[in-house]
Amino acid sequence: MAELNLNGTKSGYDEDFDDSIIIIQNDYDIAGGKVLDTTGFSDMYIHAGHGVIQEDGTENYKPLPVSGTIPVGHTAVGVVIATVPTAQPAVGVMIHGVVNNAATKYTLNSAFIAATSRILYTKD
């Protein structure tokens, strides 16, 4: 399971993100969120609307690879609610709601969308 170390890290960032136009409606999320294992994830931020996957049979949650393909041995869970620095990968994970898929940084493919059928993906 991934761990979060807050020692020596900044508490905020100066970027401007479109989180509020990506997550249109959050009906249900995973209580308390998840800390993601970001091994191999090269983006500086994990953006709102980015897919979250879980390694089968474990408590290991990860960001969806930027290719949008769910790796073998993993299951789609939901999407990130608000952008966070990859160095501090504690995220809220929406499992039921509405996402503006046209505004996300990385496109979610049809397999991920089908696997998260409690989320409505729009192109607003």
- The whole-angstrom separation of Cα 90 and Cα 85 is 9
What DSSP character marks residue 65? P
- Residue 11, pLDDT score: 47
Q: How many CB atoms lie within 10 A of CB 86?
A: 14
Q: Is the pLDDT of residue 34 over 90?
A: yes
- The whole-angstrom separation of Cα 101 and Cα 123 is 6
Encoding tokens for residue 22?
Answer: 């990506």
- The whole-angstrom separation of Cα 9 and Cα 31 is 24
Higher-pLDDT residue of 111 and 17 is: 111
Secondary structure element (H or E) that encloses residue 113, with its range: helix 110-115
Local confidence band at 5 (pLDDT 50, 70, 90 cut-offs): low
Query: Where do the domains of the chain lie?
Result: 19-122
Higher-pLDDT residue of 100 and 16 is: 100
- Residue 2, pLDDT score: 74
Dihedral sign computed on CA atoms, order 72, 94, 124, 83? negative
Note the CATH architecture for domain 19-122.
Beta Barrel (2.40)
